[in-house]
């Protein structure tokens, strides 16, 4: 029976990063994955394929709708959905191969199969016809999450689908109905709207991406509506019925209780995800979970059972790959006796639509509830030279700062390539910078990043220069 210092159940961005860091620290490490490939939901059927689809569909959309304005005359453009799908799978496989390499490089033992905790130092692994048992000093649960649905709607994976099936479609839907206007809904909805589908998004709340700053959701709504997506905000989905080739969706207007009906060939359930802890044997050792099914952990991410930890989507907080990775490093370093740190308030949310969206820190709505004295500054991309050059003028950056100290408390961005430029805001807030600190830093011209400088100027006595 093999024995390890540390064993991780689940090989997503939390699990495999934890394994690498633990190996770097000198531990003998094992990782258990129930599927045939490493990488979890994110690499296989989530973050990576969705962003590959978004990238491909954005190129096509710009070719159809913007290239002519650049003086590029393309007579005809067509989508080969099978070739596009294959390219997505090639990207996924390349990244998965990279994780395989990293496990070998760091001498992490990989077990394929379903891991069940027998006691706090013993795990049974069943894969195919093979069953093996290993012992370990520490266990880290990193099994992630799975798509959620409404109580009365079953995901049949044929017509009523989750993000997993949506990202593997072999045809462009004629009419894709999306239940949920959060990150998954607007991203996948964007993909197929760009490729020519009629897309209808039905959302319970009065704004898209409702957990983010309200101004971002309202701007995203305007931008995506211009791209042809239909929205039914403040509607409660009551039923979805699938036949062999179509789905009928029923929803109720929350204000006047009027019922509406939509017909489409696919219905994407995108109302969120729920922790995946099925058949892990948590009950065998008494690991506690809360009412949401999340594993309860302390400040060190240790469960109520000493030596057993949990990270990522199975515990409290946002279900984000980069959060899980940070927690994986945190646990490995904590077990090694180090004093790692995670600032949960500075873990950004990112939406890869066009325009892209990101938010870090507190929202204006959250700050107003605390009665904290704040000031805000905003600057639109339509006044940014680089955005004009690239024809990406939708959006803005909003900076929220303490009225007395000028410390930046929140930065909320919607615009071009935000996913790659928001990090300046994270660095500034990690070091508790004032808005004026950023306002006085030189930013290259012409760049998208100048918009952040101008927003900070706007928050500093309304000193924006280019508007």
Q: Is 413 one of the annotated binding-site residues?
A: no
SS (H, E, C) the chain: CCEEEEEEECCCHHHHHHHHHHHHCCCCEEEEECCCCCCHHHHHHCHHHHHHHHHHHHHHHHHHHCHHHHCCCCCCCCCCHHHHHHHHHHHHHHHHHHHHHHHHHCCCEEEECEEEEEECCEEEEEECCEEEEEEEEEEEECCCEEECCCCCCCCCCCCEECHHHHCCCCCCCCEEEEECCCHHHHHHHHHHHHCCCEEEEEECCCCCCCCCCHHHHHHHHHHHHHCCCEEEECEEEEEEEECCCCEEEEEEECCCCCEEEEEECEEEECCCEEECCCCCCHHHHCCCECCCCCECCCCCCECCCCCEEECHHHCCCCCCHHHHHHHHHHHHHHHCCCCCCCCHHHCCEEECCCCEEEEEECCHHHHHHCCCCEEEEEEEHHHCHHHHHHCCCCCEEEEEEECCCCEEEEEEEEECCHHHHCHHHHHHHHCCCEHHHHHCCCCCCCCCCHHHHHHHHHHCCCCCCCC
Q: Which pLDDT band holds residue 429 (cuts at 50, 70, 90)?
A: very high
In a domain, 29, yes or no: yes
Is the CB of residue 399 less than 8 Å from the CB of residue 377? yes
Whether 183 and 267 share a structural domain = yes
| CA–CA distance, 385 with 394 (Å, rounded to integer) | 13
pLDDT at 314: 98
Answer yes or no: is pLDDT of 71 > 90: yes
Domain count, the chain: 3
Q: Is 180 one of the annotated binding-site residues?
A: yes
Whether 175 and 186 share a structural domain = yes
Mean pLDDT of 435-452: 97
Q: Which tens digit of pLDDT belongs to each residue from 206-230? A: 999 999 999 999 999 999 999 999 9
Domain endpoint, select from 336, 367, 388: 336
Residue 31 structural domain: 3-147+274-336
Whether 180 and 315 share a structural domain = no
Give Cα separations from 105 to 23, 102, 112, 230 (angstroms).
10, 5, 18, 48
In a domain, 308, yes or no: yes
In a domain, 345, yes or no: no
Is the CB of residue 33 less than 8 Å from the CB of residue 112? yes
In a domain, 55, yes or no: yes
Mean of all residue pLDDT scores within the chain: 97
Q: Is 183 one of the annotated binding-site residues?
A: yes
pLDDT at 19: 98
Whether 140 and 279 share a structural domain = yes
Whether 13 and 111 share a structural domain = yes
Whether 142 and 168 share a structural domain = no
Whether 19 and 138 share a structural domain = yes
Whether 14 and 140 share a structural domain = yes
Whether 435 and 323 share a structural domain = no
Domain endpoint, select from 220, 247, 271: 271
Q: Residue 407: which CATH number?
A: 3.30.390.30
Whether 32 and 135 share a structural domain = yes
Q: Is 181 one of the annotated binding-site residues?
A: yes
Whether 8 and 136 share a structural domain = yes
Looking at the chain, the whole-number percentage of residues with pLDDT higher than 90 is 98
Among 100, 108, 164, CA closest to 140:
108
Domain endpoint, select from 288, 304, 336: 336
In a domain, 25, yes or no: yes
Q: Is 322 one of the annotated binding-site residues?
A: yes
Catalytic status, residue 445? yes
Instruction: Give the distance from CA 294 to its chain's centroid.
Output: 18
Instruction: Say which of 175, 221, 412, 445 is annotated catalytic.
Output: 445
For helices 47-65 and 183-194, what crossing angle results, to 10°? Answer: 40
Whether 24 and 115 share a structural domain = yes
Mean pLDDT of 375-404: 98
Q: Is 189 one of the annotated binding-site residues?
A: no
Q: Which tens digit of pLDDT belongs to each residue from 278-299? A: 899 999 999 999 999 999 999 9
pLDDT at 157: 97
Q: Is 184 one of the annotated binding-site residues?
A: yes
Q: Residue 130: which CATH number?
A: 3.50.50.60
Answer yes or no: is pLDDT of 5 > 90: yes
Answer yes or no: is pLDDT of 75 > 90: no
Q: Is 51 one of the annotated binding-site residues?
A: yes
In a domain, 51, yes or no: yes
What pTM did the predictor assign?
A: 0.96
Answer yes or no: is pLDDT of 76 > 90: no
Q: Which tens digit of pLDDT belongs to each residue from 27-50? A: 999 999 999 999 999 999 999 999
Answer yes or no: is pLDDT of 12 > 90: yes
Q: Is 313 one of the annotated binding-site residues?
A: yes
């Amino acid at each position: 029976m093999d024995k390890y210092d540390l064993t991780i159940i689940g090989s997503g961005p939390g699990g495999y990063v934890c394994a690498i860091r633990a190996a770097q620290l000198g531990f003998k490490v094992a990782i258990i994955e129930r599927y045939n490939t490493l990488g979890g939901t994110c690499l296989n059927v989530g973050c990576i394929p969705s962003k590959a689809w978004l990238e491909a569909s954005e190129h096509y959309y710009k070719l159809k709708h913007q290239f002519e304005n650049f003086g590029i005359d393309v007579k005809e453009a067509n989508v080969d959905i099978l070739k596009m799908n294959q390219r997505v799978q090639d990207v996924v496989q390349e990244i998965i191969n990279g994780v395989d390499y990293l496990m070998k490089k760091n001498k992490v033992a990989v077990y394929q199969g379903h891991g069940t905790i027998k006691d706090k130092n013993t795990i049974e692994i069943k894969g195919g016809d093979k069953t093996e048992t290993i012992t370990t000093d520490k266990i880290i649960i990193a099994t992630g999450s799975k798509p959620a649905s409404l109580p009365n709607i079953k995901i049949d994976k044929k017509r009523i689908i989750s993000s997993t099936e949506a990202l593997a479609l072999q045809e462009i839907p004629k009419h894709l109905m999306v239940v949920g206007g959060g990150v998954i809904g607007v991203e996948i909805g964007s993909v197929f709207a760009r490729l020519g589908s009629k897309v209808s998004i039905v959302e319970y709340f009065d704004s898209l991406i409702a957990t983010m700053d309200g101004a971002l959701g309202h701007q995203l709504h305007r931008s995506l509506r211009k791209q042809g997506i239909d929205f039914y905000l403040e509607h409660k989905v009551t039923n979805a019925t699938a036949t062999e080739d179509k789905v009928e969706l029923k929803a109720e207007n929350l204000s006047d209780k009027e019922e509406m009906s939509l017909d489409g060939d696919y219905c994407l359930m995108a109302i969120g995800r729920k922790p995946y802890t099925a058949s892990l044997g948590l009950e065998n050792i008494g690991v506690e979970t809360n009412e949401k099914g999340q594993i309860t952990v302390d400040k060190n991410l240790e469960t109520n059972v000493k030596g057993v930890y949990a990270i990522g989507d199975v515990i409290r907080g946002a279900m984000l790959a980069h959060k899980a990775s940070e927690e994986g490093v945190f646990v490995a370093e904590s077990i090694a006796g180090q004093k790692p740190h995670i600032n949960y308030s500075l873990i950004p949310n990112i939406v890869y639509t066009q325009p892209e969206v990101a938010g870090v820190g507190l929202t204006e709505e959250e700050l107003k509830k605390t009665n904290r004295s704040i000031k805000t500054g905003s600057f639109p991309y339509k006044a940014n030279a680089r955005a004009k050059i690239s024809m990406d003028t939708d959006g803005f950056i909003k900076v929220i700062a303490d009225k007395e100290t000028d410390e930046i408390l929140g930065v909320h961005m919607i615009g071009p390539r935000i996913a790659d430029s928001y990090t300046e805001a994270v660095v500034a807030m990690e070091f508790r910078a004032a808005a004026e600190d950023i306002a006085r830093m030189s930013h290259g011209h012409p760049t998208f990043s100048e918009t952040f400088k101008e927003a900070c100027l706007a928050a500093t006595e309304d000193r924006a220069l280019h508007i």
